[in-house]
Structure 1
Amino acid sequence: MNYGGVVSSPNGDVSLTVEVEEGEPVYHLKYNDKVLIAPSRLGVIFKETNLSQDLTLDYIESSKVDEIWTQPWGEQKEIRNNYEEIKLYFSKNESGEKMNITFRVFDDGLGFQYEWPEQVGLQDFVITDEITEFNMADDHTGWWIGAYQLNRYEHLFNETRVSETDTVHTPFTMKTDDGIHLSIHEAALTNFASMTVANNGNNSLEVDLVPWKNGDKVRGSAPHKSPWRIINVGETAGDLMTNYLMLNLNEPSKIEDTSWITPGKYTGIWWDMHLGTKTWESGEMHGATTEYTKQLMDFTARHGFYGVLVEGWNQGWDGSWFDNGDVFSFTEPYPDFDLKEVTRYADSLGVKLIGHHETSAGISNYEAQVDEAFDLYNEVGVEAVKTGYVGDFVEGGEWHHGQFMVRHYRDIVKKAAEHKIMLNVHEPIKDTGIRRTWPNMMTREGARGQEYNAWSVDGGNPPSYTTIVPFTRGLVSPFDYTPGVFNLLLTDKPENPDNNRVQHTLAKELALYVVIYSPLQMVSDLVKNLEANPTALEWVKAVPVDWETTLVPKAEIGDYVVVVRKDRNSGDWYLGGITNEKARDFEVELDFLESGKTYEAQVWADGEDADWKTNPYPLERTTEEVTSESVLELNLAKGGGVAVRFAPKN
């Protein structure tokens, strides 16, 4: 051993040890004096050289940071960035290639990053493997989806022991038998392959980089950096949900004036197509018509929502678009959709058209048109665009989450920022915190959303799904789940051979607006269903999408979650609570409310005999006065939920 050093987090809870043993760098991690990560290898293998062994540690630098920065929008307005850092400078014995590894130790986890400074020996390099390990101290319970599957990240989560996992996508969330929660992920994914995690046996996990179709993992030239490999840790599931280590490891915003970036709720010509009552393609059932768009805009303006998403407006949806993204034009509308007229009409009502670019994985076709397409949206006043990348592979066999697409997604975000356009990306690369650097990257899909309830052959997302997703996919937030379906049994659907439905109660659907965070939240159901239930619609109109503070007073992954958030623009607080198939009763202390004030608690709860399976619709609306010393009783039906607004009275 030629180095052995320990670095502790600012409060001492997290302790990192880094060692170099016979030329091989190794790290291990403790949390509250318990071994979390046993000794684990570090390093990267290039086609040209192996930088995981035969290394000499040349010198070490240490530093610390303690600062607070402000998100222009988000689930938490003020974020503290507080860590201890060491940077280790290595050189390869004999051949002399250079590699640095930086470790940042936070009170709630660890981040580390590889860096290859400019050097002659690593010009035009190819990385063939990364051998970074996460050797678990025990066989923890984990929640995961397999990495190399079709449909990208859109799968139900498995719950198994670490020893029973496959190669998995991150974030990979685990719970130890003594209750510690941890999650492995990455931050600041830029010009690199996405990281998955492979099961090596004996509770050992190793980074598995998603390859190019020829097998290369990463192509680059020094100077170059890897994304940060991160381990988030906390006592509770809620601690993971309020962990901002990933954001802290991203660069500050490159957009100086963010005043044009506007969170909001939106409606859309979208759910109709998933139900089969309208079509993307042209014809008698075409959804994206001028007339129907204006009707949606009337509804949107009437209830104070931001805008209307219109899918299927542009040429290319007829025929086999699903298999050939080259058919799309992003500037030519169908004859029954007058782009300039609908945007003029939107302006007259004070709402916005939300644009749509479905590429169907035709990347070259999209890149050839995107400048002109964004210019057109600038011309007519479109401020937000939903992009889509339906398809299992792109450009003849590249994965959605390999380096090729990582580069593409980042290029589109930058280009959108140049045009002052906000993005909502479906079939995306996973979020690694880039929204800090490019805050026009508002929200994304990257999991099974509401649409699976409309047509999935398994009938839809089970009641437990939304109690898992906040602690897996949702940890890297935001998620365009698209809540707001009031007709839970989907009686509008002409044919329903798989008995599709929304598998929870109406109160739970309302609670999702707080539990699942997105700065662009959809109000997804048909107008007739939304306006037929004014009590439920009252909540959707009231609940904000931009928060000052987020708290998670109660949560158990896969069972239940209670989330509390404070509105950024008022003194109101909001609570969302959901459960799986089991009914639950909770008592929640309201000590988060301002002391000395009285609040009106406006409650939307499961009504009498509510049950997700047999009676999902009963919704009870009540009010009561509360203070910071009050305890609120919550009664959740099977598959149920509760939504609460706390409005100051004095």
Structure 2
Amino acid sequence: MTLSRFLSASLATSLLALTAPALAATVKSPDGRIEVTLDTDNEGKPFYAVSRDGKPVIAPSSLGFDFTNEDPLRRDMVVTGESRASADTRWEQPWGERRFVTDRHNELAVGFKGKPTAPGRDQRGFTVRMRVFDGGIGFRYEFAGRADHPVTSIADELTEFVIAPEGTAWWIPAGDWNRYEYPYSQTAIEEVSSAHTPITMRLADGTHISIHEAALVDYSGMWLKRMQGRRFRSTLSPSSRGAKVVRKGAFETPWRAIRIADDAAGLVENDLELNLNEPNKLGNVSWFEPTKYIGIWWGMISNRWTWAQGERHGATTERTKQYIDFAAKNGFRGVLVEGWDYGWDGNWFGNGRDFSFTRAYPDFDLEGLSAYAKKKGVRLIGHHETGGNIANYEAQLPDAMALYGKLGIDVVKTGYVADAGNIISCSADIADPCAGQTMEWHDGQRQVQHHLRVVQEAAKHRIAVNPHEPVKDTGLRRTYPNWVSREGARGMEYNAWGPFNNGPDHEPTLVYTRMLAGPMDFTPGILSLKGDNDVPLASTLAKQLGLYLAIYSPIQMAADFIESLAAHPRELAFIKAVPADWSESHLVAGEVGDYAIFARKDRNSDDWYVGGVNDATARDVTIRFDHLDAGRSYDATIWKDGPDATYLTEARHQIAYDAKTVRKGDTMHVRLAPGGGLAIRLKPRK
């Protein structure tokens, strides 16, 4: 298809009415299937457009900015030049879904300039750097420093995404009180309102796309606001100071990333955002060990214990020793303890002013328990709940991380429990002391700065960080590999607070939406299938095992009470065995929102694991063992839904066990129950 025919087809579905001049710059993916155009229209508006196999995916979509202290950059601009590059490399992850990642792309950088705003002023503009991979595209804006205007104050970014074909979207609302913690909606693309990213779409011809961002550093998080039809515009998370982003001198925005694939597996087995991030800045991080852990957590979530002091206080020395002993006996490296420090008494939600990150409650011996755990071959996992008060946390951050480092606590879970907009901050420059407090959005520039500061401070003491109520993951784990996991979605705790609070399709949807951003600390392993007041989970017992394969994290929790874990020895055997670090990962069966079955190979042995999760529809699935090593036989140990299992009744506890021998190329037919799952361990015969 010629450029003029492509643009004509695109304009038929676009509300922008952009006109393509003759000097359009184009760049293709290495395999030639994806083509991107960058140029200006007849009004001088910069735009980009994306086609795949000659068919429009993203119709011509505007680029630009509004500022708080100068005129917009969105029209009357001209192309000033272009440059090209390409890459074909492979790099190794210190931990991850797969050991090696291939970075193969073609790059086009186009400069855009506008008219000077006044005599004697520099001509304003930006460069758009576009990288095109076989699995999608990434682009960012680059601003050169200006001597006459050293500070750039962005009111909003005007990047648009005009989806050319009709299709279905899976999304959660942006700008609402509960951050990212919503069930996903499945609607027509035209019915989306404002959405967080990643947002996943299946287009009419079967093409799958996901829109997200990469390398979110010193900038506000991007939301997507549907303007009209299938035209979306970026809107940046707000700030108390008016300007959503303030930057000094030259700077780059995060990458705007669009995964493009033939099917659901192509979306999942895609390293686009990782490749758009800078390489590891920390050097050797072998001190972090991917691990599984238990913890004093579900007792508070399910209202048996309390975080605050009193008769039901969860974080006691005696109880923690019991958990350490269980961990040592069953091969869990970590024990998470929440509620150990001063600040939990009273109304801490959304203010956090009383939290101390170095002072333990009288009934919790932090130093003694750290030593006790170490003797048993176990490590405490630290916990820093801020109540959203980052000013209080930052004031104590160096001392808090130094204490954990001294005690050998090498993983910390942080928390920011507060309604949206209720982050308590100080000056926009985090190097300044806090002279006064303001409220900031949870994914605004101030909070983005804060999270990176925590990760960098933790790295000084060889501590890994797992934030809850975080800023979304944008692949920064490549640059800072101690940023090992995070929450950033509706997690397991919601199951404790109401019957089927997370519906059976929640986890199969997470695989194709939230999980495209990066690892999630979902906290599986509730083998009792019960929450507060015995409310049931929308899960079978087999699904709780399948979650370890479907929801990836290099730190995986067995979240139930230790007596419940002990009461399920055959299920506990799987949890003890399943790795938290992989050399390969493949989605071998699945569809967005319906089900997801993975095959993953242990990084430290030749064992393979196969399994995953299902939605509310019973289905028969055929699994092909194409990823096994040729010429070897494998003993398969199988945990699967019982013949009558369903999440809707007490039959959710019904599980069946099986064993057989399989080889590469064999198939297995498995029934997935409503709300069900599957787990298989494949151990090669010697």
TM-score by length of 1: 0.97
Does structure 1 retain, via aligned residues, the 8 Å contact 2:155–2:243?
yes
Out of 156, 162, 183, which is 2:210 matched to?
183
Compute the displacement of 1:56 (Å): 2.4
Out of 76, 81, 91, which is 1:69 matched to?
91
- Specify the alignment match of 1:529 in structure 2: 564
Compute the displacement of 1:214 (Å): 4.1
- Specify the alignment match of 1:634 in structure 2: 670
Out of 107, 112, 119, which is 1:90 matched to?
112
Out of 7, 18, 22, which is 2:38 matched to?
18
- Which residue type is aligned with residue 9 of structure 1? S
Tell me if 1:612 matches 2:633.
no
- Specify the alignment match of 1:394 in structure 2: 423
- Which residue type is aligned with residue 192 of structure 1? Y
Does structure 2 retain, via aligned residues, the 8 Å contact 1:181–1:236?
yes
Cα separation, 2, equivalents of 1:58 and 1:141: 38
- DSSP-derived class of the 1:246 partner: helix
Does structure 2 retain, via aligned residues, the 8 Å contact 1:110–1:231?
yes
- Specify the alignment match of 2:403 in structure 1: 376
Out of 437, 450, 455, which is 2:479 matched to?
437
Out of 211, 234, 243, which is 1:216 matched to?
243
Cα separation, 2, equivalents of 1:19 and 1:542: 54
- Specify the alignment match of 1:644 in structure 2: 680
- Specify the alignment match of 2:366 in structure 1: 339
Cα separation, 1, equivalents of 2:161 and 2:82: 23
- DSSP-derived class of the 1:521 partner: strand
- CA 14–80 in structure 1, closer or farther in 2 if over 3 Å, else same: same
**Which aligned pairs between 1:288-303 and structure 2 lie closer than 5 A?**
288-303=315-330
Does structure 2 retain, via aligned residues, the 8 Å contact 1:98–1:119?
no
Decide which moves more: 508-517 or 118-127. Answer: 118-127
Compute the displacement of 1:354 (Å): 0.4
Does structure 1 retain, via aligned residues, the 8 Å contact 2:67–2:243?
no
Cα separation, 2, equivalents of 1:357 and 1:214: 28
Compute the displacement of 1:17 (Å): 1.3
- Which residue type is aligned with residue 325 of structure 1? G
- Specify the alignment match of 1:5 in structure 2: 25
- Specify the alignment match of 1:513 in structure 2: 548
Cα separation, 2, equivalents of 1:429 and 1:449: 15
TM-score by length of 2: 0.92
Does structure 1 retain, via aligned residues, the 8 Å contact 2:350–2:417?
no
Does structure 2 retain, via aligned residues, the 8 Å contact 1:19–1:26?
yes
Identity of aligned residues (%): 44
Compute the displacement of 1:3 (Å): 2.5
Decide which moves more: 23-32 or 522-531. Answer: 23-32
- CA 60–633 in structure 1, closer or farther in 2 if over 3 Å, else same: same
Cα separation, 1, equivalents of 2:389 and 2:25: 50
Compute the displacement of 1:527 (Å): 0.9
Cα separation, 2, equivalents of 1:424 and 1:292: 23
Structure 1 segments of 4+ aligned residues over 3 angstroms from their partners: none
Does structure 1 retain, via aligned residues, the 8 Å contact 2:39–2:79?
no
- Which residue type is aligned with residue 211 of structure 1? P
CA RMSD of aligned residues (A): 1.2
- Which residue type is aligned with residue 222 of structure 2? M
- Specify the alignment match of 2:270 in structure 1: 243
- Specify the alignment match of 1:557 in structure 2: 592
**Which aligned pairs between 1:219-298 and structure 2 lie closer than 5 A?**
219-298=246-325
Out of 47, 64, 84, which is 1:43 matched to?
64
- Which residue type is aligned with residue 613 of structure 2? I
Cα separation, 2, equivalents of 1:363 and 1:374: 15
Does structure 2 retain, via aligned residues, the 8 Å contact 1:68–1:79?
yes
Does structure 1 retain, via aligned residues, the 8 Å contact 2:350–2:423?
no
Out of 503, 509, 529, which is 1:462 matched to?
503
Cα separation, 2, equivalents of 1:357 and 1:530: 26
Unaligned runs of 5+ in 2: 1-20, 118-122, 425-437
Cα separation, 1, equivalents of 2:22 and 2:342: 64
Does structure 2 retain, via aligned residues, the 8 Å contact 1:2–1:21?
no
- Which residue type is aligned with residue 570 of structure 1? S
Cα separation, 2, equivalents of 1:41 and 1:98: 15
- Which residue type is aligned with residue 630 of structure 1? D
Compute the displacement of 1:13 (Å): 1.4
**Which aligned pairs between 1:291-330 and structure 2 lie closer than 5 A?**
291-330=318-357
- DSSP-derived class of the 2:234 partner: strand
Cα separation, 1, equivalents of 2:58 and 2:443: 26
Cα separation, 1, equivalents of 2:26 and 2:168: 28
- Specify the alignment match of 2:51 in structure 1: 30
Tell me if 1:422 matches 2:451.
no
Cα separation, 1, equivalents of 2:157 and 2:371: 53
Does structure 1 retain, via aligned residues, the 8 Å contact 2:350–2:389?
no
Does structure 2 retain, via aligned residues, the 8 Å contact 1:10–1:83?
yes
Cα separation, 1, equivalents of 2:506 and 2:301: 20
- Which residue type is aligned with residue 315 of structure 1? Y
- Which residue type is aligned with residue 525 of structure 2? G
Tell me if 1:581 matches 2:616.
yes
- DSSP-derived class of the 1:408 partner: helix
Does structure 1 retain, via aligned residues, the 8 Å contact 2:496–2:530?
no
Cα separation, 1, equivalents of 2:337 and 2:457: 22
Tell me if 1:474 matches 2:515.
yes
- Specify the alignment match of 2:578 in structure 1: 543
Does structure 2 retain, via aligned residues, the 8 Å contact 1:561–1:578?
yes
Cα separation, 1, equivalents of 2:565 and 2:381: 20
Does structure 2 retain, via aligned residues, the 8 Å contact 1:171–1:184?
yes
Compute the displacement of 1:199 (Å): 0.4
Cα separation, 2, equivalents of 1:16 and 1:608: 51
**Which aligned pairs between 1:168-179 and structure 2 lie closer than 5 A?**
168-179=195-206
- Which residue type is aligned with residue 640 of structure 1? G
- Which residue type is aligned with residue 104 of structure 2? N
Compute the displacement of 1:159 (Å): 0.7
- Which residue type is aligned with residue 16 of structure 1? V
Does structure 2 retain, via aligned residues, the 8 Å contact 1:122–1:221?
no
| Cα offsets for 1:37-69 (capped at 9, x unmatched) | 001111122231322222222211101000000
Does structure 2 retain, via aligned residues, the 8 Å contact 1:186–1:227?
yes
